[in-house]
Chain A
Amino acid sequence: MDAPFLTVRNLTKHFAPTAFSRGPVVRALDDISFDIARGQVVGLVGESGSGKTTIGRSVLRLIEPTSGEIRFDGVDITKLSAGPLVRQRRKMQYIFQDPFASLSPRMTIGQILTEGLDIQGIGSRRERRAKAERALAAVELPVDAYDRYAHEFSGGQRQRIGIARALTLEPEFIVADEPVSALDVSIQAQIINLLRDLQVRLGLTMLFISHDLAVVEYICDTVIVLYLGRIMEVAPAAALYARPQHPYTRALLSAIPSLDPLARQGRQVLKGDIPSPANPPTGCVFRTRCPVALDACAGIVPPLRATTSDGHLKACIRDDIA
């Protein structure tokens, strides 16, 4: 296989209090490293507050990371200066969670869809319109949406518009930040299918964020499980669901509602609340809720390492429970 398309190394983000807000430093991300190969869809799963959005936005440099390296096709975008960064932005786009907040109420759909082309100075007015209309067609919306305002559309339609906007610049890489979690269940499948189709047809590389393992299973090649700003487990989707290695992943999987009574018996429910990222536990961050924690877990930060031959990486010191 060739060199990975996206390489993230030791990404760390601490939100420090500002001059106007007090409070402790929030350790949103700690030492995150992963790769995404070209054309692959990688899922990023974790509970609310685990740092998924922070990773997604840092990777597109919408948030300045505290430290770490993010390489796109070999280019470290954390070191790009303003001009090259603007050009780099054509290649990477973001799809937002909330379809109501992500579209300007003051712009027509046409203005929203041509905005990126406008900023990047691509094409004449007519060409921009043509590209925008093609993007509308790609998300299966009629072209007469062009002159309307976002408030006239339903949540699912707005999410399609958000996806169309991300497509107009013809990016190679897309971060989809919980693109369906704000939608009705009846519409979620449609949007997921649409994303899957587009990803295959356009050969997109994608970081797909979700708090729901069931959604991720369908669309992703590889899954990253995040907890409190650290990676707990990385594995090919099939292997993760079939043989979860990390106690946290197991707990997450067993929390998925199931009709199978046998599966329900072995169900573990996570006790307690997720600790504050302002004051994470020492050693393994999961130890306060881990059903199989040992005393030793407080002492060392378990490194992410390969434990089996099926492409699994896990950050847990207990190999005896697998």
Chain B
Amino acid sequence: MTITAPDPAIDPTVVPTAGPQTKGPVRRALDRFFDNRAARAGLLIVVPILLAVSTYSLWWPFSPNAIDLRAINKGPSAIHWLGSDGVGRDVMARLLQGGRISLLVAVCSVAISIVIGFLVGAVASFGGRLVDGTVMRFVDLAMTLPPVIFLLVLASIAGTGIAPTILVISLLSWPVLSRMVRARLLELRERDFVVAARGMGAGLPHLLFRHGLPNCIDILVVYATLQIANAILLEAGLSFLGLGIAPPEASWGNMLNLARSTVVLEQYPWQWMFPGAVLVLTVLAINFIGDGLRDAFDPRSDLN
């Protein structure tokens, strides 16, 4: 007589044992993310920059607005590693503080645009036909405005400074997200497990936050990452034009603004080259991370 192992396809009492703990879809996506070499490289660049920018006041002797009259327009040296600018401020300190501001503006504006984008998409998709139609026409309108002009008009109304810059950038970027969220939720609404939740009496908040949000997590994470890179560039662009973060506050954008003077451009390259390089490097690295996340969360990658 032979004893055969129970066939898991037939015997319901055999549950697959995938290990001591089973992984949810988000965990599996993160595993795939860390397998991606470009994404790891991105992290390797972004994490040190984040650390440096957020802790520099603990270990860097100069403050971004302190003036050293003996070091006006001096190149990199043992004291001022990255040189100093036209009024004797330390470029390294300004670079770090500028990074702090640029990243703060980017993160806050993305957070705001995520909240707006998700809620608008949610209201449109679950609010019924009339609401959907109205809201989406409005979103279409916001998306057809030429972004540069929209940005300039908004910025000139809002003024300069950190808060207005955050506001301007977030107002420009949510419509794209709300469309993606709406499309995802419209599809989700018809899925059987959502119908099941309705059949058990689920109201709108339950449907949105227990089903809608978790099933949009991939969209939100990818959007957030790529949009942070975008927002850094927008901030730089605005500040370069003198509309974003106004001096003496430092930001990567307004440090680049110095390069508009041909004297600085030609004779003091350290004053604009370093912020330019860090900006490009950061944006590139974040894009790597974003692409890695997008691939990791791609629903097709769960199939194999």
Residues of chain A whose beta carbon lies under 8 Å from any beta carbon of chain B: 18-20, 57, 60, 62, 85-87, 89-90, 92-94, 96, 98, 101-108, 112, 115-116, 119-120, 139-142, 144-145, 147-149, 151-154, 156-157, 160, 165, 169, 184, 186-187, 190
Contacts and interface: CB of A to CB of B under 8 A. Distances in A.
Nearest to A97: B192
A190 B23 CA distance: 29
Nearest to A190: B12
B69 interface: no
A150 to B, nearest CB: 9
Contact of A152 (B22, B200, B203): B22
Contacts of A186: 9-10
Given A19-B133, A101-B193, A106-B215, A142 B199 contact: no
B202 interface: yes
A102 B15 contact: no
A29 B199 CA distance: 21
Contacts of A154: 8-9
B96 to A, nearest CB: 39
B35 interface: no
Nearest to B191: A101
B55 to A, nearest CB: 36
B242 interface: no
8 shortest interchain CB distances as A-B pairs = A116-B200, A86-B201, A102-B192, A89-B201, A106-B214, A101-B192, A104-B193, A96-B192
B25 A94 contact: no
Contacts of A103: 193
A90 B200 CA distance: 6
A66 B39 CA distance: 53
B201 A106 contact: no
Contacts of A85: 201
Contacts of B149: none
Interface residues of B, number: 35
21 contacts: A19-B129, A60-B199, A86-B201, A93-B199, A96-B196, A102-B196, A103-B193, A106-B24, A106-B25, A106-B217, A112-B193, A116-B200, A116-B201, A119-B206, A144-B15, A149-B24, A152-B16, A153-B15, A156-B9, A186-B10, A187-B10
A278 B111 CA distance: 47
Interface of B: 8-10, 12-13, 15-16, 18, 21-26, 129, 133, 191-193, 195-203, 206, 210-211, 214-215, 217, 302
Contact of A94 (B24, B195, B203): B195
A156 B214 contact: no
A142 B25 CA distance: 22
Contacts of A160: 12
A20 B191 CA distance: 20
A107 B210 CA distance: 9
A159 to B, nearest CB: 10
A98 B24 contact: no
Given A119-B206, A156-B9, A148 B15 contact: yes
Contact of B12 (A90, A92, A141, A149): A141
Contact of B25 (A116, A139, A147, A149): A149
B211 A104 contact: yes
A141 B197 contact: no
Nearest to B215: A106
Nearest to B21: A147
Nearest to B10: A186
B49 to A, nearest CB: 32
Contacts of B25: 105-106, 149, 151
B200 A169 contact: yes
A120 B192 CA distance: 19
A229 B276 CA distance: 68
Contact of B202 (A90, A119, A142, A147): A119
Contacts of B211: 104, 106
Given A106-B214, A152-B18, A120 B200 contact: yes
A141 B15 contact: yes
A94 B197 CA distance: 10
